[in-house]
């Protein structure tokens, strides 16, 4: 019967091997989220462009990426593309798969947030003589950002854990390195608990950042709401 080993647990709790895997998970999340956000913005703009064929291409992309599992997408990029002469390194495959998948979800978040801004705000921007670009930059996006931040934050939180799927294509992030140690030491429970603690620390740290961002971008709107309440009284 296998007995829990406290000595092994504490030995690997601060293991440089696992810490490096956690660091890989962090930068993989950050880079994928930034790439996904940029591509998601382009896809959202295409869906709201009013250009028929462009909207259809964007809709097809979102339908495809949201309708198939990320694991399947990663495997196709890693093992399928080389069969037609397109070959990437493991890191590139991981980033490409995560970013393309994330962009589909983020595009819907961005589109929904932009469309949530009232038509009155758009009309006011037009009445002031602002161009469409200026109206988007100075009027619509600041308000849309406040709406989309909680959803974007939750998406990044999920992405941080989703990076574990890249272990299937031999990306040495936290889960992959945990499994390598398990195969070597047969300490399944101890090592998975250590990995869980690492994920909890990373997601908790991101939650603090997300809360700060929400307070930072919501400050002006909260002040405006207080002024409106004061005027009504």
What domains can be seen in the chain, in order of their start residue? Answer: 6-232 (1.10.3720.10)
Q: Is the CB of residue 28 less than 8 Å from the CB of residue 177? A: no
Which residues touch 109 (CB under 8 Å, ≥6 apart)? Answer: 40, 148, 151, 152, 155
The per-residue pLDDT for 230 is: 52
Quickly list H helices, 117-187: 119-127, 132-135, 141-162, 174-185
pLDDT score of 223: 54
Q: In the prediction, which pLDDT does 79 show?
A: 93
**Residue labelled with tokens 């589909």:** 104
pTM: 0.86
Residues of the chain scoring pLDDT < 50: 1
d(CA 178, CA 118): 49
Q: Quote the pLDDT of residue 19.
A: 95
Return the pLDDT at 1: 45
Q: What was the pLDDT predicted at 96?
A: 95
Give residue 221's pLDDT.
53
Q: Tell me, what's the pLDDT at 140?
A: 77
Q: Is 35 exposed, middle or buried (0-12, 13-18, 19+ CB in 10 A)?
A: middle
User: Buried b / exposed e across 60-69, counting CB within 10 Å, b at 16+?
Assistant: ebbeebeeee
């Amino acid at each position: 019967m296998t007995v829990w080993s406290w000595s092994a647990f504490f030995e690997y709790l601060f293991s440089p091997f696992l810490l490096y895997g956690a660091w890989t998970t962090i930068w993989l999340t950050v880079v994928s989220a930034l790439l996904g956000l940029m591509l998601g913005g382009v896809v959202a703009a295409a869906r709201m462009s009013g250009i028929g064929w462009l909207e259809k291409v964007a809709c097809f992309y979102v339908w495809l990426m949201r309708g198939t599992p990320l694991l399947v997408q990663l495997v196709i990029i890693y093992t399928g593309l080389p069969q037609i002469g397109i070959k990437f390194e493991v890191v590139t495959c991981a980033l490409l798969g995560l970013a393309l998948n994330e962009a589909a979800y983020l595009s819907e978040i961005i589109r929904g947030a932009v469309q949530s801004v009232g038509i009155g705000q758009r009309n006011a921007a037009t009445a002031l003589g602002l161009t469409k670009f200026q109206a988007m930059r100075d009027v619509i996006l600041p308000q849309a950002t406040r709406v989309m931040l909680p959803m974007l934050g939750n998406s990044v939180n999920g992405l941080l854990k989703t990076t574990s799927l890249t272990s299937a294509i031999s990306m040495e992030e936290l889960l992959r390195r945990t499994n390598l140690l398990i195969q070597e030491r047969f300490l399944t429970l101890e090592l998975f608990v250590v990995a869980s603690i690492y994920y909890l620390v990373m997601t908790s740290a991101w939650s603090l950042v997300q809360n700060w961002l929400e307070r930072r971008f919501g400050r002006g709107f909260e002040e405006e709401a207080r002024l409106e309440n004061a005027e009504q009284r």
